Structure formats: C-alpha cells, structure tokens
Structure 1
Amino acid sequence: MGEERGTVPVPVPAIDMGGFPGEFQKLREACAWGCFRIVNHEVPLELMAQMKAVVRELLDLPAEVKRKNTDVIAGSGYMAPSPKNPLYEALGLYDMGSRDAVLAFCSHLEASPHQREVIMKYAEAIHKLIMDISEKLGESLGLSKDLFKEWPCQFRINKYNFTPETVGFSGVQIHTDSGFLTILQDDENVGGLEVMDQSGSFVPVEPQHGTFLVNLGDVAAVWSNGRWCNVKHRVQCKQAVVRISIATFLLGPKEEAIEAPEELVDSEHPRLYAPFTYEDYRKLRLSTKLQAGEALALLRADS
C-alpha cells in the first residue's frame, strides 16, 4: 500500500456526457484508472435533491421496517451496522430496471405517495444514465451498442453514522465493486470517499454538487480483458456528521458467462480470465473474503 496523501484532493477526470464523440479518448484514459466524474448529464438537479431527502427519510425509519427490505440476492437488501463496518448501514433494491421490483421496494418500506413518486422517477432516470454510460464504454473500444441492456442493476442507499468518537476511523473497508460499473451520487456536503490512484496511494475525492462519480468494478476489468482498472476505494470518517450517498451498480449478465468479447482478444492481448457467471463470482468473493479484487487472481486463464 502506498503512502496516503490525506489532504490532497484527487483530480478525478470529468466526462461531459454532452461532448461525445469528442470525449472518447478522455474516457479511455479515465478507464485505465477506473474512476471518473460525469457532468452535463440529463438527471434533473431537483430530482437528485428530492431523492437525497427521501433517502435520508428511509434510512431514519425504525429498524423493524428497514428489516422488511430483504435480500433478493445475497447483500441486496437491508444491511445493518456490523462488527466489520459498525458505522455503516444501507437499504438495497435488486434489478432497479424493473418497475415491479421498484414498487415492491417502496411497499416493503411503507413509502408515502410522494416518496414512491420520487423513487420511481429517480430509478428510471439513473437506469437510463447507467445504460448510456455503459454503451459509451463499449463504443470507446470500438464495440456495438446494446451490449448491456439486459444486465441487472442494483441500487443501494447508504448512511454513515459518524460521531466525534469515530473521526479518523473507516466507514467502509477497502474494497472494489464486484460488478461492471457503479454510479454514485455522493454527499455534496460531507467528504470521506477515497480512491487508490495509479501509484497505490489513497487520495480523497471531493464531492461535487450536481455530478455523479463512476467507479469501474471487477467485471469491467475482466470484460475489457485488462484494459480497464477495478479501482480500490474506501470511506473514511472525516467529521462528526451523518453522510448519505446513493449508489447504483450495473452488475453483470444474469445467467450468461462473463468474458471479454472476441474483438478484445488477440496475440497482443491474450485472454486473461476464464469465463464465469456473476453469481459464481459473488459467491467466490464472499467465501474467500477477498473483497478488493484479489479474487480475480483465482480466475486467471493461465492459473
């Protein structure tokens, strides 16, 4: 692990969603690190603010209500504070592209008509955005569109219960995301997210109002045949306030094997990983407790 530069904000590349095709080279360079910020997107700022308020209300619900948010796949429902991550809790929704799944999520949490309306609009807008970003990622490598439209998305709303006694501690341990990519609406008032740069140092990512942060995960590293990086990140408690964030994960195909497309495999880029399903990979990460991308080494094509 490199030395930490705890006070220097990291210059996360900004990708202008209205600037394509001129942004493709910048996008390719950002993917080599695995982290970039989305600006000039089509999600209304008012909707982002409304969703932030609704998220805070849902995470303030009594524990017995939050526990009704049960798993569809392991880890997709309510996550209570745990010995490993005592400052963190979350609610989750598997397959946010499904209207029925979103409605069920709202019903389980006894959402009000206003809350339900905001959640439905936000889910639709974010699903459209994550599909747009993923298509542009494919295009950046010269591949066709509609490669990811059937891949499920998981939605997670996060609360970090930071107190004066926890300043300097971890809100969430070092990890990579297991899926393809993550869109994060971070807390514009509270920092704490840190990503590992290409030198191996953790650097803080300062929040930026009205934007989304994108992290690439383990599936992206495999699918790109090693061209893209699954960025390591963590959350640190910097101040004694509650931190709220909203994350959407594009996971991987439901049943088909994950492998690099043939167009990305040649004599200079031999296939790095054997095919695997997303569900099997999630189980591997859980069983081995290798949560920071190390589990991919067990799936190398030459292992």
Structure 2
Amino acid sequence: MGVKVPTIDFRKSSEWEKGSEKWVLVRDEVYKSLEEFGCFEALLDEDIPKEKLYDKLKEVYNFNLEKKFGHSVSPDVKIGYTKYGPTTPLQERLMIDYVLNDGVIENFSKILWPNGETEFSDLMITYSKKVTEFNDLVRRMVFDKLGLKEHYLDEHKKSGDPFVVLIKYRVPEAGETNIGVPPHTDKVISTVLSQHDMDINGLQIMNKNGQWIDVQYSTPYSYIFLVSDCLKAFTNGKLHCPLHQVKIGNEERYSVGLPIFPKEGHIIKVPEELVDEDHPLVYQPFDGSRYLPFYLSELRRGVLITLEGYCGVSAGTPNLC
C-alpha cells in the first residue's frame, strides 16, 4: 500500500473543550501531519452545505463569466477571473476577495443574477464561515503544540482575510497537457480545499522524499488543509509546506479553495519562543501582503522565487517589511 496523506476526524469538534483528552489527541495528530506532510484530510460536519454549493457552482460556470467580469476588478467587490492561462490551460478560476466582509457575496450575486438570487449567497457565506472556523481551530492547535501564548493566535487570526477561489477544470484534448496547475507552494498563510466528486482525483503533493502522492478525498465531507509559505515562515520552518500540483483525467473537475491572504502591512515574524541555540532563526520578518505580488512579478520575468530566496536568513534579502 502506498503512502497516504493522514485523515483526521473533526466531526463534532465544536463540542471539544480545549485541553481535553480528545482535543489534545487531535492536536497532536494535526501537528504530526503538518510537520511530516504539510497537509491532512479533515472530515468535517455534514452541516457545511458543500454539495448544494457545488450544484450552484456549476450554475455559475454556465454563465459567460468572461463577459460578466473580464479580467478586471468589479467596483463593488474584488473579483478576479482567469480562463485557460499559459501555465493553467485547463483551468477557469473565479476569486472573490474578502468573502466574509459585509455585502461582498451579495454584490457578487447581483452581478450574476441582476433580478435577485439569495441561495448562492447563503450557501457561500455558511460554507466560508464554517471552513474559516475550522482553519482557526487548526492554527489554534498548532500554536498550542508549539507552546505559544494565546496572544499570538489572536494576532494571527487578525493578520489575514479569507478569500474564496471557485475552480473548474476542463478535460484535456488530444495532445494537450494534463497538468491543471503546475507544481507550486501557496504564497498565503494556509488553504483549505474541497472538491465536488470524491472519485475524481487530481490533487497531488510531493512528500519529503520527492515522491508525488495522490491526495484522496475519502468521503463527501472531506477537506484538505494545506500549510502555505507564510505559516511555514511564522513557525520558523517547523511545519512543512508541500509542493503540490493538479492533474486532470478524462472528467471535468470542480474545486473550491479558501486561502487566508495576509493583510496589507502585517509582518510575518518568527516568535522569539521558537528561536534558540538549537533552532536558529531561519526566516527574516516580512510583509506577507508583498510576497505574492513580488513572486508573480518575478515569475513574469522568468524568475522562480522560493520562500528561502525571498526571506531566508541565509539569502540576506534586505527591506522585506
């Protein structure tokens, strides 16, 4: 049997008391998984309206999104739409910034359904809130395992905003690449992924031995938590940030990502509790909001920037804040 990403059961986690035997057991599983793989499969409660949301997502992709949004930003809500880019020729992607801010989803819905539609808004808000709460719980467990004080978590929760990325992959034509997304690490804090059909695989992560592992969604209530570059930097490299990619087979694939983007001006800085003689500082402080734009600008020049190259102490890069 091949290597498998760990599966952790978070169902009824709202009933767990911090410090209880169950809470500590799951906390240790979470930390071990993120230390070794940089991700895990989470089983979440069935009250997250995942299936209904995906039904509406298919309806969204029946619209002419390029006509509705182009590649610009709406004046009412930041919406980024891309279709069949040079490095992602099979992917359509619609990103909604600040998804939990008042009015954002409602304004988005009005663009698609000018005559009124509330179901998508309700589903998207419920999904985003519950997945964000799960993301917060994972970070709380990580910080507790690292022995960090509560104020670090409070600051960290305020340091980023949840976005939503709605993705559709088409089936490759004869002679086309089957790479939906090339190998990369996420340039945010963390990401939670789901997909519509648990039987249509596509996501792969590279383990520490350099092997690609197929990430399986074992139930309809499965989600994948991924460590991203900013969380790896904050933990002084204690958590693994996995290189991952998406491969597409002979069926179209729908996926929803909920990344936490660093807020403008927030400094990603390793807590002093995580630095000592045995664990020297690995990453310099940096403004997390500047990292992704810099990465993309360099990529357009044909230069691939890594976290170590961007803010690694050994790289000696100045003026990161």
Deviation by residue 1:228-268 (Cα, 9 ceiling, x = unmatched): 11111001122x22100000001224322111112111221
Is the 8 Å Cα contact of residues 166 and 237 (structure 1) preserved in structure 2? no
Kindly indicate whether residue 120 of structure 2 is the aligned counterpart of residue 115 of structure 1: yes
Kindly indicate whether residue 98 of structure 2 is the aligned counterpart of residue 86 of structure 1: no
Is the 8 Å Cα contact of residues 88 and 180 (structure 2) preserved in structure 1? yes
The unaligned stretches of length 5 or more in structure 2 are: 14-21, 317-321
Report which of the two structures shows the higher radius of gyration computed on alpha carbons. Answer: 2
Task: Name the residue aligned to 1:176.
Answer: 185
Task: Name the residue aligned to 2:101.
Answer: 98
Distance 1:200 1:185 in 2: 24
What SS is found at the alignment partner of 2:293? helix
| TM-score, normalised with respect to structure 2 | 0.82
Of structures 1 and 2, the one with the larger relative CO (CA 8 A, separation 6+) is: 1
| Cα 1:25/1:123, change in 2 over 3 Å | closer
Cα deviation for residue 71 of structure 1 reads 7.2
What SS is found at the alignment partner of 1:21? helix
Task: Name the residue aligned to 2:272.
Answer: 262
Give % identity.
21
Q: Which amino acid aligns with 1:158?
A: I
Distance 1:260 1:147 in 2: 13
What SS is found at the alignment partner of 1:29? helix
Kindly indicate whether residue 54 of structure 2 is the aligned counterpart of residue 42 of structure 1: no
Cα deviation for residue 136 of structure 1 reads 1.9
Deviation by residue 1:204-230 (Cα, 9 ceiling, x = unmatched): 112222111011111011000010111
The unaligned stretches of length 5 or more in structure 1 are: 1-7
Is the 8 Å Cα contact of residues 180 and 250 (structure 1) preserved in structure 2? yes
**Residue in structure 2 matching 1:298, options 306, 310, 313:** 310
Distance 1:142 1:96 in 2: 31
What SS is found at the alignment partner of 2:256? strand
RMSD over aligned CA atoms reads: 2.5
What SS is found at the alignment partner of 1:272? coil
| Cα 1:69/1:183, change in 2 over 3 Å | farther
Distance 1:255 1:234 in 2: 30
Task: Name the residue aligned to 1:13.
Answer: 6
Distance 2:278 2:186 in 1: 27
Distance 1:106 1:134 in 2: 31
Task: Name the residue aligned to 2:138.
Answer: 133
Task: Name the residue aligned to 1:3.
Answer: none
What SS is found at the alignment partner of 2:236? coil
| Cα 1:178/1:68, change in 2 over 3 Å | closer
